[in-house]
Amino acid sequence: MNSVLAAQTLLTAGDGGLDDHLSRYGRLPSLDGSQIVGLARDAELTGRGGGGFPMWRKLAAVAAAGTPAVVIANGAEGEPVSGKDRLLLTRKPHLVLDGLHLVALATGARAAHLYAPAALLPRLRESLAARGRAGLDKLPVTLTAAPDAFVSGEESAVASAIAGRGAVPADKRVRLVETGTLVQNVETLAHLALIARYGAGWFLSSGTFLATVSGAVARPSVVEARYGVPLGDLIGAAGGATENLRAVLVGGYHGGWVPADPALPVTREALAPFGAAPGAGVVVALPAHACGLVETAKITQYLAGQVAGQCGPCVNGLPRIAGTLADLAAGRPRPGLPGEAARLAALVTGRGACRHPDGTARLVLSAMRAFEADVAAHLNGRCLATGGRL
């Protein structure tokens, strides 16, 4: 079977209503906390918000924190080229809420929160009301609006927003899980809800991930596939490339550029040599006529504009990186220009309260590798994509 279309479990049609949900998936089986942690571990479920961290470890750490736990479903989806969390919250909100219920059980949480863009909140409020009427959740769920900003979905920003202090990332001397706070991406939670019903073995053989495919494709859309899916199949599921591709951005604005190789498997291991990872499943196809340096400069400019404004190296470094890339893209050579981008990327990495500088650096370093020939051409006043002089 085509691995893209295998077991469309999350994206099957659905009206988002509770009746539809219950007739499709049935009620959650009753499980205790350690069973839930065990299922997440055996299913090897990893986070879908970008980090790809094993969920069970976070569950275990929060349960062991020794403070009353707080669980938060993270639907902020600050990434502008991602759409899967919004789609999931629209089409399958009850899977997310089931998952939130399960992690609350697994951690012994006293409070559960759903954090999502303001536009989605009215319908989610209805979903919660329907569950209340059906007597589904013992632990009430609080809704909080996520500001429309790139870093608003970063885990410590999420915790801060829930606490009413704004979506501002915090220092991580004490890790968030050690404070008894669990932040999971909404897709991760939806998978857990299915694992609870169908088992860890089922997920190992049929579990999926959601990818948002955009750029030079016929039907930009959210597609569901299994890890290991060839890149070409993912792009094919979005209607296929509309023209020859120069490169593909995998993992979103904090991801990396990989060659437009249709056979490249979308897995952590296969993408690692390119400095990329499946991350939150963002795939952007760059057409052959577009310049990767110009595109990267634009994204970096955007990311520099999205800093939370707290950390010196990030606040100063990201605009400098963006300026350096803009010079490269526009062919304004100055001495040591390509090396400067790499130097700055290394300089900001690990020097912020959140990983926004790290992600930005990753993108820039991958661009320097993927578009090495373009860099050389730009420094000589030519652009390979347009074929003309800069």
Partner 1 sequence: MTDALWYFARGSGVVALVLLTIVVVLGIGSRSGRSVFGLPRFAVSLLHRNAALLAVVFLAGHVIGLLFDSYAQLRLFDLVVPFVGKYRPLWEGLGTVGFDLLVAIVVTSLLRNRLGAGVWRAVHWLAYLCWPVALLHGLGTGTDRGTWWLWTISLTCAGAVVAAVGWRVSPAFARFPARAERRVAPRLLEEASR
Partner 2 sequence: MTRLHIDWTACDGRGLCTELLEEMLVEDEWGYPVSRDGTTEPVVPPPLEDAAKRAVDRCPMLALKLVRR
335 binds, among ligand SF4, partner 2, ligand FMN, none (CB under 5 to 8 A by kind): none
Residue in the shown chain whose Cβ atom is closest to ligand SF4: 352
Letter string b/e over residues 41-73, b meaning 16 or more CB atoms within 10 A of that residue's CB: bebebbbbbbebeebbebbbbbbebeeebbbbb
User: Interface residues with partner 1 (CB under 8 A)?
Assistant: 118, 144-149, 151-152, 157, 161, 164-168, 306-312, 315-316, 319
Between 133 and 173, CB nearer to partner 2: 173
Between 201 and 305, CB nearer to partner 1: 305
Torsion of CA 242, 243, 245, 249, to 10 degrees: -20
**Mask 296-335, x = binds partner 2 (CB under 8 A)?**
--------------xxxxx-xx------------------
208 binds, among partner 1, ligand FMN, partner 2, none (CB under 5 to 8 A by kind): none
Q: How far apart are CA 44 and CA 135, in angstroms?
A: 31
173 binds partner 2 (CB under 8 A): yes
Which amino acid is it at 318? L
Secondary structure of 248-262 in HEC code, one letter for each residue: EEECHHHCEEEECCC
- Asked if 58 contacts 182 with a C-beta cutoff of 8 angstroms, the reply is yes
Beta carbon of residue 151, minimum distance to partner 2 (angstroms, whole number): 13
Residue span binding ligand FMN (CB under 6 A) among the ranges 47-55, 92-100, 129-137, 204-212? 47-55
Task: Report DSSP state, residue 265.
Answer: B
Region label for 298, one of left (φ > 0), alpha (ψ between -120 and 50) or beta (otherwise): alpha
Copy the structure tokens of residue 243: 């023209």
With both helix axes pointing from N to C terminus, report the angle between 372-379 and 356-370 in degrees, rounded to the nearest 10.
Answer: 80
Between 278 and 359, CB nearer to ligand SF4: 359
Beta carbon of residue 169, minimum distance to ligand SF4 (angstroms, whole number): 4
Between 59 and 307, CB nearer to ligand SF4: 307
Q: Indicate if the alpha-carbon torsion angle 143, 149, 153, 155 is positive or negative.
A: negative
Strands 181-185 and 209-215: unpaired
**Residue from 53, 198, 202, 227 that binds ligand FMN (CB under 6 A)?**
53
Strand partners, 183: 72
Phi, psi of 39 (to 5 degrees): -60, -45
Between 179 and 316, CB nearer to ligand SF4: 316
47 binds ligand FMN (CB under 6 A): yes
101 binds ligand FMN (CB under 6 A): no
Between 236 and 256, CB nearer to ligand FMN: 256
* Burial class for 164, CB neighbours closer than 10 Å (0-12, 13-18, 19+): exposed
**Residue from 3, 10, 25, 49 that binds ligand FMN (CB under 6 A)?**
49
Beta carbon of residue 238, minimum distance to ligand SF4 (angstroms, whole number): 30
Beta carbon of residue 275, minimum distance to partner 2 (angstroms, whole number): 17
356 binds, among ligand FMN, partner 1, partner 2, none (CB under 5 to 8 A by kind): ligand FMN
Q: How far apart are CA 260 and CA 322, in angstroms?
A: 25
Q: How far apart are CA 330 and CA 364, in angstroms?
A: 16
Footprint on this chain of ligand FMN (rule: CB under 6 A) = 47-51, 53, 74, 76-79, 150-151, 153-155, 183-185, 188, 354-356, 359
Footprint on this chain of partner 2 (rule: CB under 8 A) = 169-171, 173, 310-314, 316-317, 346-347, 350-353
